[in-house]
Amino acid sequence: MNKTDLLSEGKTKKIYNTKNNFEVIIHYKDNITSFNGKKNELISYKGVLNNEINSCIFKFLNSCGIKTHFIKKINKREQLCHKLKMIPIEFVVRNFICGSLSKRLKIKEGTKITNQITEIFYKNDKLKDPFINDNHAVFLGISSYNELNIIYKIINNINNYLNKYFYKKNIILADFKVEFGKNYKNEIFLSDEISPDTCRLWDKITMKKLDKDPFRKNMINKKEILNIYTEVLERLNKE
């Protein structure tokens, strides 16, 4: 499982081919980004923490029977994963009102959503990742109705599993973003990452934000964000 060539590089990760055609190595960089990459900074060691956190969460989801890209963590910054063709859609799953939705619907942040809101966004930098619906996705040729229905079912399961998982760690999963890809057999796998970069996590008692949000809003500095990510990791590692 040695790296061969660089397959692609995103804002926070590099993906390398391996000698096995069906596997890639994902390397976590130290970048932290927000506002679609407009804010992009380096925080030394953040990639190490994110690799570790993601490994915990994906290992857990694998154990629940969710098909994920994660095979194993191979070193501090890298994971071995199934090679997938990504579906260019961000699936945002909301259990509580926050962020952009709070502004759009003028509803107070922290309002509980009882029917789980799932939103889809077309991953396209030129269009600034617009909010779309299933009809748009099919028209754009980026997914099919059948594929979307399968993914929505997987997402419901993921949300149920993760809610319980985080709750045991005294964390409320307010919302999160997931992405999916397909392997050579066209099977759908959860891919990308699930971490404080892509979730809103709140302490169950104090409601302290345990995610990227306070950094995005310039409310805390680099050292504080590292402390938060470290705290999340410690909670996940505690039995």
Binding site for a copy of itself (CB under 8 A): 104-106, 113-119, 122, 126-127, 130-131, 133, 135-136, 138-140
Least gap, CB of 118 to a copy of itself (angstroms): 6
Least gap, CB of 127 to a copy of itself (angstroms): 6
Residue with Cβ nearer a copy of itself (71 or 150): 150
Least gap, CB of 153 to a copy of itself (angstroms): 15
Burial per residue of 67-95, b for 16 or more beta-carbon CB atoms within 10 angstroms, e otherwise:
bbbbbebeeebbbbbbbbebbebbbbbbb
With residue 6 as reference, give the H or E element that holds it: strand 3-9
Whose structure tokens read 């149920």?
Answer: 160
Whose structure tokens read 């939103």?
Answer: 119
Residue with Cβ nearer a copy of itself (129 or 203): 129
Least gap, CB of 38 to a copy of itself (angstroms): 20
With residue 16 as reference, give the H or E element that holds it: strand 13-18
Residue with Cβ nearer a copy of itself (74 or 113): 113
Q: What's the alpha-carbon Rg for the chain, to the nearest Å?
A: 17
Of 205, 211, 204, 207, nearest to 228 by C-alpha is 211
Beta-bridge mates of residue 119: 92
Least gap, CB of 171 to a copy of itself (angstroms): 23
Least gap, CB of 126 to a copy of itself (angstroms): 7
Residue with Cβ nearer a copy of itself (18 or 95): 95
The answer to whether 77 touches 27, Cβ cutoff 8 Å, is: yes
Residue with Cβ nearer a copy of itself (53 or 137): 137
Residue with Cβ nearer a copy of itself (38 or 106): 106
Of 111, 157, 104, 158, nearest to 131 by C-alpha is 104
For residue 63, give both structure tokens.
């154990």
The answer to whether 58 touches 68, Cβ cutoff 8 Å, is: yes
